[in-house]
Amino acid sequence: MFVADGLVRTPGLLVPRDFLEYWSAGRVNLRGGNPYHPSELFAEQKRADPTRADAVMMWNPPSALALYMPLGACAPRWAMLLWIGLQLAAVFVACDLLWRAYCPVHRWFAALVALSFVGTWWLVSYGQNTGLLLLGLAGFVHFTKNERPLAAGACAALTALKPHLLAVFGVLLVTDVLTRRGRATLGAGCAVLVLALGIALVANPRVVSQFIAAVRTPEEGAVPLSEWALPVPAYWLRMWLAPGHFWVQFVPCVVACAGFLGYRVYKGNTWAWTHALPLICAVSVLATPYGGWLFDLPILLLPVLWVTARFVRNGNVASRSCDRVVAGRDYRHYIRGSRRIARILVGRASRAGNVPLGACKVLGKSEGRRGYEQLGQLVLGRFWAVKKTQRTL
């Protein structure tokens, strides 16, 4: 507490640029003002940061204000510390949940990936909210895998903070209403959003109409979405085909949604959210119609962790098992590794049409674990001989 107080009182402490849009919007809505009006936001932002030259607009849906209003009730620097701490905690908890879902060992890898991922530090330096989106996705994966659809839906509601970034995920979530679990998940998510919107409406009953008006005809001082220069393929597609038509930026997103809907229908009852979500997230971010800034990259931690977990879980099992046996570390690992190596070799031999090893597969099936164990020990014995030869040379 004393350290935080000293940090808050430090004159050189810089308030992240984008954090003030959430803090000021929550503060304005809390007193019943218009959180989508640039002049009202600028007045609060200027009070917190006298060097601010123009307003940073908050374009999140009105339901997001339920999250920002508690920030607005705090002093700006204290609110900033709480917000940055919340985002970092969200990233690390999300990475841990995702790692547990995709790889049961070496949980410390999750923290390492989170720390080394550049998007995490862009998130902190800008004071953005993308950590909560990642937490929503991670909670959805975790609770879906554990067959708790209500909790999964409640977590999925966090992704509505920036629905344009995860449009494919949202569309698939809605279409999943055809299944019983999908209905429970969607119902829980909608309930959370309705509750959040109700909280925002209690403080400001006109907030929905204010949001619609701001999107349709932004006030002077607010840069319309159609005038943003973006680092995303949709923007460059529009600049190439029809610079004056904003709707062109939505074409890649529509195509991606249609493609995944077709894939969802094709998979039918074999559809698995945990396996499909990494690709869904990557494509959603790539095809986003707007946004997609550097501080939005933490969403890609989901596919990054999935790839890393696959590498750790399935990477070169035979080599690691042989090295442990040669080192004489663990006899139990020798037996277990023998069976695993045998199964790998038998599977590859069968696919390649290798008759001798294919016959060993029959032997393995007929003698159960013992057959695989003998085959694996034979392979390991030859590996041991090669190692000894290499060491004597």
Could you report the per-residue pLDDT of 215-237, keeping only the tens digit for each? 888 888 788 888 888 889 999 99
In a domain, 50, yes or no: yes
Residues 242 and 330 in one domain: no
Instruction: Measure CA 375 to chain center.
Output: 42
Q: Which of 290, 312, 334 is the last residue of a domain?
A: 312
Q: Where are the alpha helices (DSSP H) in 204-300?
A: 207-216, 233-241, 251-267, 273-286
Pair 321, 308 in one domain: no
**Number of structural domains the chain divides into:** 2
Tokens for 197? 């919107």
323 and 303 assigned to the same domain: no
Contact 15, 80 (CB under 8 A): yes
Average pLDDT over residues 163-191: 93
- In the chain, what percentage of residues exceed pLDDT 90? 57
Q: Are residues 345 and 225 in the same domain?
A: no
Write down the pLDDT at residue 358: 45
- Range 251-269 average pLDDT: 93
| pLDDT per position as a tens digit, 266-281 | 988 899 999 999 999 9
33 and 150 in a single domain? The answer is yes
Q: What confidence score (pLDDT) does residue 269 get? A: 86
Q: Is residue 261's pLDDT more than 50?
A: yes
- Domain end call among 266, 281, 312: 312
**Is 162 a domain residue?**
yes
| Rounded mean pLDDT, 368-392 | 49
**Maximum alpha-carbon separation in the chain:** 83
- The last residue of one of the domains, among 284, 312, 340, is 312
Measure CA 138 to chain center: 6
Shared-domain flag, residues 165 and 273: yes
- Going by C-alpha positions, the residue among 179, 213, 65, 177 that lies closest to residue 129 is 65
Would 92 be classed as within a structural domain? yes
The more confidently predicted of residues 197 and 321 is: 197
**10 found inside a domain:** no
In a domain, 14, yes or no: no
Q: What is the mean pLDDT of residues 142-163?
A: 94
Residues 327 and 307 in one domain: no
Query: Average pLDDT over the chain, rounded to whole?
Result: 81
Same-domain status, 265 and 356 = no
**From CA 344, how far away is CA 342, in angstroms rounded?**
5
- Exposure letters 150-175 (e unless 16+ CB within 10 A, then b): ebbbbbbbbbbbbebbbbbbbbbbeb
Q: Do the domain assignments include residue 342? A: yes
**Single-letter code of the amino acid located at 269:** N
Residue 257 CB: number of other CB atoms within 10 A?
21
Domain boundaries, position 224: 19-312
Of residues 386, 274, 364, the one with CA closest to residue 319: 386
The pTM of the full predicted model, rounded to 2 decimals, is 0.77
Q: Encoding tokens for residue 66? A: 């339920």
* Torsion of the alpha carbons at 51, 53, 55 and 56, rounded to the nearest 10: -70
Structure tokens at 280: 């869904």
Which among 113, 71, 67 is positioned nearest to 92, based on CA atoms? Answer: 113
Q: Which of 183, 168, 88, 185 is nearest to 128 (CA)?
A: 88
CA 56, 248, 300, 123: dihedral to nearest 10 degrees? -10
Q: Do 331 and 223 fall within a single domain?
A: no
| 113 and 244 housed in the same domain | yes
Once rounded to an integer, what is the mean pLDDT over residues 102-115? 88
Structure tokens at 308: 């890393």
The per-residue pLDDT for range 22-36, each reduced to its tens digit, is 999 999 999 999 999
Dihedral angle of Cα 98, 100, 103, 104, to the nearest 10 degrees: 180
Kindly state whether residue 8 falls inside one of the protein's structural domains: no
Is residue 305, in this structure, part of any structural domain at all? yes
| Whether 34 and 80 share a structural domain | yes
**Of 60, 113, 28, residue with least CA distance to 302:** 113
Which H or E run contains 194? helix 180-203
Residues 168, 32 within the same domain:
yes
What does the pLDDT read at residue 146? Answer: 92
Q: Could you tell me the CA-to-CA distances from 372 to 22, 262, 293, 344 in Å, in that order?
A: 60, 41, 52, 10
Q: How far apart are CA 182 and CA 185, in angstroms?
A: 5
